Chains A and B, each alone.
Chain A
């Protein structure tokens, strides 16, 4: 098991944002987390990736307990995430942005960087090669490399963000609504990309509202409502689960009654 989440809980005052959520995600599988707005999906991702510390519960990454660890420690343990709206860096070109993704694959520190020791130049060339490869892999055109990342159309920004995560060579990728704000064919492209990454052996955790995409590429689905896990299983199982149907279509219950 690569990513094991156990009993993860976060309270904000009287509100239990995430209530004892457990699931496991494996390499080669897309594990999706779905639920109505406000179900606590993004908070769950924040807890797993270290943006917020959990009140209780644990996150184990390849057997190592990383619950409550600093974000960069978790990143270096092999897990990274994308954000609901692309968080690209202001004033940075596409190429540079992807090179920040390759940050942990370099070793030079402040002192050697300031003196530009011979190893630094070699490392720069290596990091740039990694960044170019990753950008190429996700389909960012070469003509865009010099442009400021934030000037790109939204769909391309999404791709740059994914390339940046790939440049890290993380084994676990958390996607927070990677298809949000995209139109028909762009959604298909992103779905294909996410699916391909899992086939390459990555552990993929996907939070997404676009149900046809979720049902198409997920191997395993965790359904949340009001912070708690209400169902879990294959796409087919989940679609027939009574609790899930109630959560999404609460009116139907009233109609039945």
Chain B
């Protein structure tokens, strides 16, 4: 019934991509045994979850945000405090780390999204700054800048011992795949199309009955929820962190991941997250040249691969496959 439809074919191609990605994650999970590389992979997956949300917001909803790092922090503190202060199961903490930031995003989105383009960028930047001030000042909830939160108990949802680096790899991999699936589902739906329509033009989209305000608020909340979930995983994995981890730099890194990968596709967010998280580990003294090399990387990508690195790679592979066939 659906084989003839190009849209269904595209959706199923994405599902096949997900199966392939899952296989790669399993192979990598078994092949990589060192604690340090595995830690880097876990951070990459955590960033990928937040970046997928930002990719939906920016690439599909057309709304820029420079507070995703702050929202990631919100998830981290909520997740930690559910366990630390309320003594609840870490699984509940992780759920709350998704839902509460989503609710917070929903509340702030209405006033924020009255703005657009660089005004919106500045307003979200300000929100990110306000959040990080709260994180340093509300010491009873966050531990402040020093020492922050330390000695969070290992991740043991429902009493399962999942706190080790090895186990956290699989936890993050499963959650990343679920978030990826949710994003692909959304993109290939009536609501995903409505978002892309309003990104291109709010007036024609609204003329077709798209509730542009509600749609923008919803996608902001969804992106906030994904950032919060990433934060929850971050808290449970590191078990010790402080407010300096959620400053504006993280928001900018997340945006760079999305831009480097591809704003159109969650695969871009994932590849950007892996690249930007793991690449610095291979380069000594990278911190000193970080911003410089990001600048060059961004310029090259913007000029030669306007759809992002992931799209360029996909197109390249497709072109190669075609050449081999003929």
Which A residues form the contact surface with B (CB < 8 A)?
49-51, 70-72, 75-76, 80-81, 83, 87-93, 95-96, 99-101, 103-104, 106, 108-110, 113-116, 120, 123-125, 127-128, 145-146, 164-165, 168
- Is B33 an interface residue, CB under 8 A from the partner? no
With most chain B CB atoms within 10 A of its CB, the pick from A80, A90, A114 is A114
For window 164-217 of chain B, which residues contact chain A by CB distance below 8 Å?
Answer: 182-183, 185-186, 188-194, 196-197, 199-201, 203-212
When C-beta atoms are compared, the residue in chain A nearest to B219 turns out to be: A110
Contact of A168 with B200 in the complex, beta carbons under 8 Å: no
* B159 touches A (CB below 8 Å): no
- What chain B residues lie within 8 Å of A125 (beta carbons)? 1-2, 5
Residues of chain A contacted by B194 (CB below 8 angstroms): 100, 103
Shortest CB distance B187–A (Å): 9
Are A116 and B7 within 8 A (Cβ)? no
A141 to B14, CA, bound (A): 27
Known: A103-B208, A103-B210, A110-B191. 13 other contacts (CB 8 A): A75-B209, A83-B204, A89-B200, A91-B264, A96-B193, A100-B208, A103-B193, A103-B194, A110-B219, A114-B185, A124-B7, A124-B190, A164-B208
A92 / chain B contacts, CB cutoff of 8 Å: 193, 196-197, 200
Q: For the complex, give the distance between the alpha carbons of A87 and B314 in Å.
A: 29
Distance in Å: Cβ of B62 to nearest Cβ of chain A = 10
Number of B residues near A (Cβ < 8 Å) is 36
- Smallest CB separation, A170 vs chain B (Å): 9
Task: Known A89-B200, A92-B197; judge A110-B205 contact (CB<8 A).
Answer: no
CA A150 to CA B210, docked complex, whole Å: 20
A113 contacts which chain B residues (CB < 8 A)?
Answer: 185-186, 189-192
B111 at the interface (CB under 8 A from A): no
Chain B contacts for A168, CB-based, 8 A: 208-209
Return the contact of B191 from the options A88, A91, A108, A164 (Cβ within 8 A): A108
- Interface pair A81/B207, CB less than 8 Å apart: yes
A95 and B191 contact, CB distance less than 8 A: no
A110-B222, A125-B1 known; A75 and B208 CB under 8 Å?
A: yes
Name the B residues within 8 Å of A146 (CB-CB): 6
Interface check B100, CB cutoff 8 A: no
Asked if B310 is at the interface of the complex by the 8 Å CB criterion, the answer is: no
Top 3 nearest A-B pairs (CB, nearest first) are A113-B189, A71-B206, A104-B209
The one of B1, B7, B189, B196 that contacts A108, using a Cβ cutoff of 8 Å: B189
Complex contacts, B206 vs chain A, CB 8 Å: 50, 70-72, 75
**Which A residues lie within 8 Å of B207 (CB)?**
49, 51, 71, 75, 80-81
CA of A241 to CA of B264, assembled, Å: 55
A90 to B182, CA, bound (A): 23
Cβ proximity bits B53-95 to A, threshold 8 Å, 1 near / 0 not: 0000000000000000000000000000000000000000000
Which residue of A has the minimal Cβ distance to B202? A71
The residues of B that contact A127 with a CB separation of less than 8 Å are 190
Complex CA–CA separation, A127 to B208 (angstroms): 14
A101 touches B190 (CB 8 A): no
B interface residues (Cβ-Cβ under 8 A, vs A): 1-2, 5-8, 182-183, 185-186, 188-194, 196-197, 199-201, 203-212, 218-219, 222, 264
Secondary structure dominating the interface of B: helix
The total number of A-B Cβ pairs within 8 Å is: 116
Minimum CB–CB distance from A74 to chain B (whole Å) comes to 8
Quick one: closest B residue to A90, CB to CB? Answer: B200
Are B200 and A91 in contact, with the CB atoms below 8 A?
A: yes
B2 to A: closest C-beta gap in Å: 7
Which A residue sits closest to B188, measured CB to CB? A124
- Of A87, A100, A116, A168, chain B has the most CB atoms within 10 Å of the CB of A100
The distance in angstroms between the C-alpha atoms of A133 and B197, with both chains bound, is: 21
- Asked if A100 contacts B197 (CB within 8 A), the reply is yes
Given contacts A100-B197, A113-B191, contact A72 B185 (CB under 8 A): no
- Is the CB–CB distance between B204 and A103 below 8 Å? no
Contact at B203–A106, with CB atoms within 8 Å?
no
Complex CA gap A81/B203 in Å reads 10
From B197, B204, B207, residue with most partner A Cβ within 10 Å: B207
A91-B264, A124-B189 given; A110·B203 CB < 8 A: no
- Bound-state CA distance A49–B206 (Å) is 10
**28 residue pairs bridging A and B, Cβ less than 8 Å apart:** A49-B207, A51-B203, A51-B207, A72-B206, A72-B209, A72-B210, A72-B211, A76-B209, A88-B200, A88-B204, A89-B205, A92-B193, A92-B200, A93-B6, A95-B6, A96-B196, A99-B193, A100-B205, A101-B208, A103-B190, A106-B190, A110-B186, A113-B189, A113-B191, A116-B185, A120-B189, A127-B190, A165-B208
A257-B60 Cα distance, complex, nearest whole Å: 62
Write out the residue numbers on chain A whose beta carbons fall within 8 Å of the beta carbon of B203.
51, 71, 83, 87
Please, which residue of chain B has its CB at the minimum distance from the CB of A117? B185
A106 to B191, CA, bound (A): 10
Q: Which single residue of chain A is at the shortest CB-CB distance from B214?
A: A72
Q: Which residues on B sit within 8 Å (CB–CB) of A128? A: 5, 7
Chain B residues within an 8 Å CB radius of A51: 203, 207
**Distance in Å: Cβ of B289 to nearest Cβ of chain A:** 34
**Which of chain A's residues have a CB closer than 8 A to the CB of B192?**
113
Cα distance A181–B183 in the bound complex, in angstroms: 40
Contacts of A76 in B (CB 8 A): 209
